[in-house]
Structure 1
Amino acid sequence: MKRLLTATALLLATTGLASAEGELQLYNWGNYTNPDLLAKFEKETGIKVTVTDYDSNDAALAKVEAGGHGFDLVVPSANYVPIWVEKGLIQELDMSKLANHGNIAPEWMDVAWDPGRKFTVPWQWGTTGIAVNTKIYGGDINTSNVFLNVPDELKGKINVVPEMNDIINLAIFWAGGEPCTEDKEVLKKVRDALVAAKPDWLSMDYGATEHLSNGDWAASVNWNGSTMRVRLATNGDVQYGYPVEGYPIWMDSVALLKDAQNVDEAYKFLDFIALPENAALISAFARYANGIAGSEEFMPDDMKDAPEVVIPEQFKASGHFLPTCSPQAQEYITAIWTELQK
């Protein structure tokens, strides 16, 4: 999901979304695609890739569902993949065109949201937690109280990313509920806590990598890979917290759109990113783990034991994959989110 921090498109081809031999249109999260990966792909295949950014799962879904988009590949989060399948927006993959499909790590192959990986190829996976400048705040960062009961040192200095499912479910875990709960008592506690906390927030925005690095924000609900980039930029001042009450684990995967125009090119890209050395290139840029076996040996050394990438043992049990919510649960979540935006 995620993991977007800007909305600047990475263009390695002529502008405009058009079908043409040797071109590919990738619709992906912002600041999430390694230019070196695209350059390598173009050099090896002659195919030029244009990347168009989006900032949320809902925005991507709405854009494609509206039609006339011209994209070939999209990168939805795990809990959204079943929605794309149900709506008929992505197509089942032809495994005869994916020689490297077997490189998908066993733990990421038979996943609940895409059993047998019939529709998607892994891109990256990670967590949603709390990034805090520990020079400003020296208290416990492994709790959602950092943004739900904002410490005095962080009042007016903390950002909350406007990613509905992550934020609402962090609050649900904090309130003792299960993801996608329909329990009205839990949801009322979530709603009340978020509304009460909002006046202590500086903003609800993306761009954490930049704003935490340059000191605009002292803390933010953020994603792990983005926070690792900030830690490196701030010489360790910004640290990543795993809320003990519970935090989301997510995976973003690449899917072939039903109305893709550059299908052969899309299959070449899907097979390309399933090679370990290329999956490692994806991770090296955005600083998230990937789902391709054997990529570890090609990863940057500073990622192999990074606390943002390798979840510390004491926090593993607190992580939860977000399921695809029922229509009723999604309605409750959306209602809370709408009220929070007022």
Structure 2
Amino acid sequence: MNIRSVLLGASALAVLSVGSAKADESLFLYNWSNYFPPELMEKFEADTGIKVTLDVYDSNETMLAKLQAGASGYDIVVASDYMVDTMIKDGLATEFDAKSLANFKNVAKPHDTLKYDPERKYSVTYLWGTTGFTYDGAATDAKLEQSWKEFFEPREEFRGKIGALNDEVEMYNAASYYIGIPKCTEDPAEAQKVLDVLLKQKPFVAVYSSEGTIDRMSAREVQMHMQWNGAAHRTKASIPEAVYVYPKEGLTYWSDHFVVPKGAPDFENAKTFINWMMQPENAAAASNYAGYMNGIKGAGEFMDESLKTDPAVNMPDEYASLLVAGQNCSAKARDLRNRVWTKLKN
């Protein structure tokens, strides 16, 4: 998706209200792959003189493991809501008091607070969305049910043509919703039922991958894919018949946040970046690229009309009751979930 010409505008003066930047200063960003517009990165560099280096990961757990192993050098990481909680509790997040930043006034409710960081001392919302699945409407004569059944117990025509996320949290949660089991269960018998669902689906799965879901669908390598809603929106650019499903059993509502990790080498530059990203035109540019909504007031006027008209992004009110918030499970529940995932992948 093309970034609007707004990327070429905006004064560089306002963005330097937090810290000062020299031409040789740098910022190391650790983010999901294909989740930040290159043009926006170039604009930040032009506005501030801070050179950005991007490193990517495919899951919150990959990012966490790297930080826990002692990885240093990152100034900002992008963490989902429950992972913010883990980072704070494990001492992996640095307090920077987001409310003290000049542009925090642009943050819309309810994004001015977070369950796991109510005072916004450690985080600022980047983008938010949902996790469902998308199917190619041109690949089937049937109109599929709004249910996880179509994904976990698919029709024979989808055998070997389904893409699943390589994400133990997303897959485990979705299977839990489908069979009505708490996603943070500590009961081994319930966890076994989740495993049974995943194993039954496995012969239909062509690939477990959280990267390339858009390209895979667009090339019609698969005809159904578990996707985040922004990826579903971008898939429609090449497959207009693509349908994003809001399963009646429930789907995860998530939000991703900028967090400054412990030991960030360029703390002031990190704050400059976060403050800069709270400008409406910059938040809108990220939404236009990634296909997800942001939490910044005034961003709407800079956003593509296609985002506003796509039900995958602008969710119909009738589906609001289906949203299930992210949850940071207990250590026992996480261990069960990991055992299920390990058995599935072996």
TM-score (norm. length: structure 2): 0.90
How far residue 304 of structure 1 moved from its aligned partner, in angstroms, is 1.4
Aligned partner of 2:219: which letter? N
The correspondence for 1:224, drawn from 226, 229, 246, is: 229
Aligned residue for 1:84? 87
| Contact 2:72–2:263 (8 Å) recurs in 1 | no
Contact kept in structure 1, 2:114 and 2:120, CA below 8 Å:
yes
Name the residue aligned to 1:49: 52
One-letter identity of the residue aligned with 2:236: R
Q: How do 1:312-323 residues align onto structure 2 when only pairs under 5 Å count?
A: 312-323=316-327
Instruction: Say whether 1:210 aligns with 2:215.
Output: yes
- Cα distance in 1 for partners of 2:255, 2:60 equals 12
Matched length: 322
CA apart distance, 1:186: 3.2
Q: Residue by residue, what CA displacement relative to the aligned partner does 1:280-335 show, whole Å, maximum 9, x if unpaired?
A: 01111110011112211111111112111111222221111121001111111111
Counting only pairs closer than 5 Å after superposition, residues 153-302 of structure 1 correspond to structure 2 as 153-205=157-209, 206-234=211-239, 236-302=240-306
Q: Give the C-alpha shift of residue 141 in structure 1.
A: 4.7
Q: CA RMSD in A?
A: 1.5
Inter-partner Cα distance in structure 1 for 2:300 and 2:116: 24
Answer yes or no: is the 8 Å Cα contact 1:175–1:186 preserved in 2: no
1:131 equivalent in structure 2: 134
Tell me whether 61-70 or 248-257 shows the greater mean CA deviation.
61-70
The 8 Å contact of residues 164 and 208 in structure 2, kept in 1 or not, is answered as: yes
Q: CA deviation at 1:251?
A: 0.5
Q: Following TM superposition, by how much is the alpha carbon of 1:178 offset from its aligned partner in structure 2, in angstroms? A: 2.5
The DSSP-based 3-state class of the residue aligned with 2:255 is strand
Instruction: Report runs of 4+ in structure 1 exceeding 3 Å deviation.
Output: 94-97, 183-186
**Aligned in 2, Cα 1:184/1:312: closer, same or farther, shift over 3 Å?**
farther
8 Å contact kept, 1:23–1:48: yes
Unaligned runs of 5+ in 1: 1-19
> Which range moved further: 24-33 or 96-105?
96-105
Using the size of structure 1 for normalisation, the TM-score is 0.91
Identify which range, 67-76 or 217-226, moves more after superposition.
67-76
**Equivalent of 2:118 in 115, 119, 131:** 115
Unpaired segments ≥5 residues, structure 2: 1-22
SS at match of 1:166: helix
Counterpart of 1:93 in structure 2 is: 96
How far did 1:69 drift? 2.9
Listed one character per residue, the Cα deviations across residues 157-192 of structure 1 (whole Å, up to 9, x for unaligned) are: 111111111110101011112331224443222111
After superposition, give the CA deviation of every residue in 1:121-155 in whole Å (9 maximum; x if it has no partner): 11111111011001112232521112210111211
What CA distance in whole angstroms lies between the structure 1 residues aligned with 2:49 and 2:40? 13
